[in-house]
Structure 1
Amino acid sequence: MLVWKDFNRAVSDIFVSLLFKGSGLKMEEIVYKRKNTKKVKTQLPDDLDLALLTHYHSTNQPVYGDALNVVDKFENELAEPGVEYLYNAVQRSMFQNTNVPFPGPEKGKELFTFIDLFAGIGGFRMALQNLGGSCVFTSEWDKYSKQTYFANYGEYPFGDITKDSTKQYIPEKFDIICGGFPCQPFSIAGVSKKISLGRSHGFADEKQGNLFFHIADIIEKHRPKAFFLENVKNLVSHDKKQTFKVIKDTLESLDYSFDHKVIDGRHFVPQHRERTLMVGFDKSVYGNDIKFDFSTVELPEEKQRLKTILQSEVDTKYTLSDKLWNYLQEYAKKHKEKGNGFGFGLADPEGVSRTISARYYKDGAEILIAQDGKNPRRLIPHEAAALQGYPIYPINTNDPKKSLVIPVSDNQAYRQFGNSVVMPLIQAVGEQILKKI
């Protein structure tokens, strides 16, 4: 029985045969040449191979020596052998270029080293690189965040940090361990949702809450000079302050100092975003009296205004549909009648916005931009990036080569920026940490 695709193929072959009849060429030659022009998709190394290859390329750390085996695996597919050639081939295949906008300092010129856990899209990395730091290990589980990370820093993160198979690649020595460990178990919204569903939260949440203890294990084993951690504001009050007490006691029991402060990102970006920042130093190196004074962190006095990141020409796809806009208005009206504060937020261009969340991709309700004669619109991904302080051309940087690359879909980009840190705030705190170490 001749199926439709076979019929099409047969007709195509007859047409080619008639077209070249009398040309002296045989049908087999035409088919062969036609097949030869077919573009073959480049086979990429798997996640672990990519992490080994890119970390070895960036750091030359012996712990990533298995990268040489990765090169051997692909030697038959490469025109030239070697780490550099495979590294560039992978970049071209994934991003169509080999230009990394935010590489680390040149080898030998770094001022300090750090590792980046729960890395997301690299808010800590960019901040500490700006201060002269070299990242020697990165871990992130989300595959889309890994793509954004690789596109911008030239390094593909290792995966699940709870696994020994991942931890084995952490270099023995580094100066700072940093990261914004998952905040869902401790956030006000996250806890409320888990309670309503009858699910565990805080340290009882085995999948997320206990991730903190993997940070503690790494600190205990590698003894970095300092730790620099970030979490939601609600961390300090969760479970009648018991969660925060466990974190503090655990780190202090490892003979590290512990200081914290809740700081609002609105000092640096036009967004109200309060986060708990935690810093500590190894007392065996700096003595028992070592402390971190958060009052030394320089907070800009200039008022931040949302209008400075808003673009004048925006694709109409970011404008809310009539259906969604009507739904949000009805939803807000219903909760207002009940005395609740839930509802959409029309942002004031002269002020700061609400906190952007990882769910922003769903409806953009927390930060909507009013438009003359139209329904409000969402922020575009580039505006969302600038809202977290990332350099975006032409919004807040004049250098198109130093602009954050967004290689993922809009939905994934919104998730990533909603989960990110306020990069310039991290840099301001990091600057004071360096003065200590």
Structure 2
Amino acid sequence: MLQEIKLKNFPEKISVIKAPGEKLQIHFYGPKSYNNQLALITHYLHNGELVKESSRQQAIKFLREYIGYKFPKIEIADSILYNPLQAGLFGDFFHIPFPDPVNYRFTFIDLFAGMGGFRLAMREQGGKCVFSSEWNSFAQKTYMANFGEMPFGDITKEETKQYIPAQFDVLCAGFPCQPFSIAGVSKKKSLGRETGFKDKTQGTLFFEVADIINRHRPKAFYLENVKNLVSHNKGNTFKIIKDTLEELEYSVHYQVMDGKAFVPQHRERIMIVGFDKRLYHGRENFSFPELGEPIRKIRDILEAETDSKYTLTNNLWEYLQTYADKHKAKGNGFGYGLVDLNGISRTLSARYYKDGSEILIPQGEGMNPRRLTPRECARLMGYPDNYIINSVSDLQAYRQCGNSVVVPLITVVSEQLVRTMLMENG
């Protein structure tokens, strides 16, 4: 009977009356999922002894409440709650395309996890994810569909950070690019006071990354961002990031790399890899891999048949052509991108869902071009075809792919990182 419980099928929000005047609220999805019991439970189910003892006890408490809600007349033995999988419970979280490796080589955490590109890459190297965080509810659903784990939510909240295990080997994060305010720093300097990374980065999402590195001191980190991070705010943004990481006593390696070596898309991103100087003393033998020329073409990622809904309407196609002509007359380069099927595309963006204009697929004489399908977008980012993307709408799938990392590029860099980390520390 207990085996019938499938937490994935619970409604988004339920209320359970525990006692007169007392109500248990259970939230499953949403921006406030740092209060999400499902995130805690799935992390416990997948990681067992690797979670903090306090997290483990909380998860067991929530499991008791869930099971008690479903089967109020059944007495629940502690042995079931401490070993729910052995009791045959919650198997729905393990019937997934991408389970963690059984014999893992290292542990990592996945911040700003998105649809899971970093996790795929680190998993390929034998890594086990012991904590994930992503605030977007739709990305959470995609992540859970593929890994059986609900990411925690807002990483800026202590309610979320408290669940990070005390120790892990690698921190992964594709954090958003934000400017840093130097007003507070300038004031302290004028008063002759020392400034640290908290003064320089407070209020940004990079601060959260630096704060977690400072608290937990992983052996290594792997950060990814847009190419423009290097020149953002006249180079000040990247300088503060690099200085901060070095202040935390990590060596910093960085390089702008283009995903076109693996997928038919021009997509330049900066890769930032670091190692703990207290362990490696700045002498780690790390280098970024050399990338070859593009070998895949756009036609290689196209589906054999597509729904007519992806073909542009006459009105939209006319608008895009008129818009492009207007800007061309002004000497601007703005316009749609009708791709050469034997070439590579422009960079896929998170706004692709709006009109698909940056990457349009020609369909022959007399036919309007079409957008890429969500599956084609996933292929363009290097995701395998068994990666589940239809747990959300096309709109959300487009957004997630446009915000994603190029998985095979992250994979080859992570291979170098892991080899260096294990060799130097082994």
| TM, length-normalised to structure 2 | 0.80
Match for residue 220 of structure 1? Answer: 214
SS at match of 1:171: coil
Letter of the 1:57 counterpart: L
Q: Secondary structure at the match of 1:371?
A: coil
Report the alpha carbon displacement of residue 212 of structure 1 after superposing the two structures with TM: 0.3
- Which is higher, the Rg of structure 1 or of structure 2? 1
Paired residues of 1:298 and 1:428 also in contact (CA < 8 A): no
Deviations 1:330-383 (A, max 9, x none): 111111111111100001111110000000000000000001231100000000
CA–CA distance in structure 2, aligned partners of residues 153 and 246 of structure 1: 34
Match of 1:120 in 2: 114
Does the 8 Å CA contact 2:252/2:274 hold for their aligned counterparts? Answer: yes
Of the candidates 322, 345, 364, which is equivalent to residue 314 of structure 2?
322
User: Match of 1:210, as an amino acid?
Assistant: T
| Structure 1 match to 2:21 | none
Equivalent position amino acid for 1:382 in 2: R
Give 1:290 shift. Answer: 3.1
Question: Is the Cα–Cα contact under 8 Å of residues 391 and 404 in structure 1 kept in the other structure?
Answer: no
Residue of structure 1 equivalent to 2:18: none
**One-letter identity of the residue aligned with 1:178:** C
In the alignment, which of 42, 47, 59 is matched to residue 54 of structure 1?
42
Q: Tell me which of 241, 245, 254 is aligned to 2:235.
A: 241
Residue number in structure 1 paired with 2:408: 424
The structure 2 residue matched to 1:306, chosen from 279, 298, 302, is 298
Instruction: Specify whether residues 88 and 207 from structure 1 end up closer, same or farther in structure 2 by C-alpha distance, changes over 3 A only.
Output: farther
Segment of structure 1 superposing worse, 362-371 or 66-75: 66-75
Q: Once the 2 structures are TM-superposed, how far is the Cα of residue 183 of structure 1 from its aligned partner? A: 3.4
| Cα distance, 1:224 vs structure 2 | 0.3
- Tell me the distance in 1 between the aligned counterparts of 2:100 and 2:283: 33
- Equivalent residue letter for 2:403: N
Q: Does 1:346 align with 2:338?
A: yes
SS of 2:140's equivalent in the other structure is: helix
Any gaps of 5 or more consecutive residues in structure 2?
A: 1-8, 15-25, 28-32, 181-196, 422-426
Paired residue for 1:374? Answer: 367
The answer on whether the counterparts of 1:269 and 1:388 sit within 8 Å (CA) in structure 2 is: yes
What does residue range 21-420 of structure 1 map to in structure 2 within 5 Å? 45-46=26-27, 47=33, 48-60=36-48, 61-63=50-52, 64-65=55-56, 66-78=58-70, 82=80, 84=84, 99-106=95-102, 109-183=103-177, 210-290=204-284, 292-294=286-288, 297-301=289-293, 303-372=295-364, 373-392=366-385, 402-420=386-404
Q: Aligned AA for 2:227?
A: K
1:260-300 deviations in Å (ceiling 9; x for gaps):
00000000100000000000100110113336322xx1534
In the TM superposition, residue 184 of structure 1 has moved relative to its aligned partner by 6.7
* 8 Å CA contact 1:235, 1:243 repeated in 2: yes
The secondary structure found in structure 1 opposite 2:175 is: coil
Question: In structure 2, the residue corresponding to 1:69 is in which secondary structure?
Answer: helix
| Alpha-carbon distance in structure 2 between the residues aligned to 1:208 and 1:341 | 37
Given that residues 121 and 146 in structure 1 are in contact (C-alpha distance below 8 angstroms), is that contact kept between their aligned partners in structure 2?
yes
Unaligned runs of 5+ in 1: 1-39, 187-202, 393-401
The one-letter amino acid paired with 1:256 is Y
1:181 and 1:426 map into 2 onto residues whose CA distance is: 14
Deviation at 1:72, TM superposition (A): 1.4
Change (3 A) 1:428 1:273: same
Contact 1:258 1:279 in 2 (8 A): yes
* Equivalent pair of 2:173/2:209 in contact (CA under 8 Å): no
Contact 1:364–1:378 (8 Å) recurs in 2:
yes
Letter in 1 for 2:409: L
Cα RMSD of the aligned pairs, angstroms, is: 2.6
- State the one-letter code of the partner of 1:375: N
Give 1:404 shift.
Answer: 3.2
Contact map agreement 1:258 1:291 (CA 8 A) in 2: no
Q: Deviations over 1:156-181 (max 9, x none)?
A: 00011111111010000000001100
**What's the CA shift for 1:435?**
1.4
3-state secondary structure, aligned to 1:244: helix
Matching residue's letter, 1:53: I
Classify 1:349/1:420 alpha carbon distance in 2 versus 1 (closer, same or farther; 3 Å): same
Could you tell me how far apart the structure 2 residues matched to 1:147 and 1:207 are?
A: 31
Instruction: Return the TM-score normalized by structure 1.
Output: 0.78
The one-letter code matched in structure 2 to 1:384 is: C
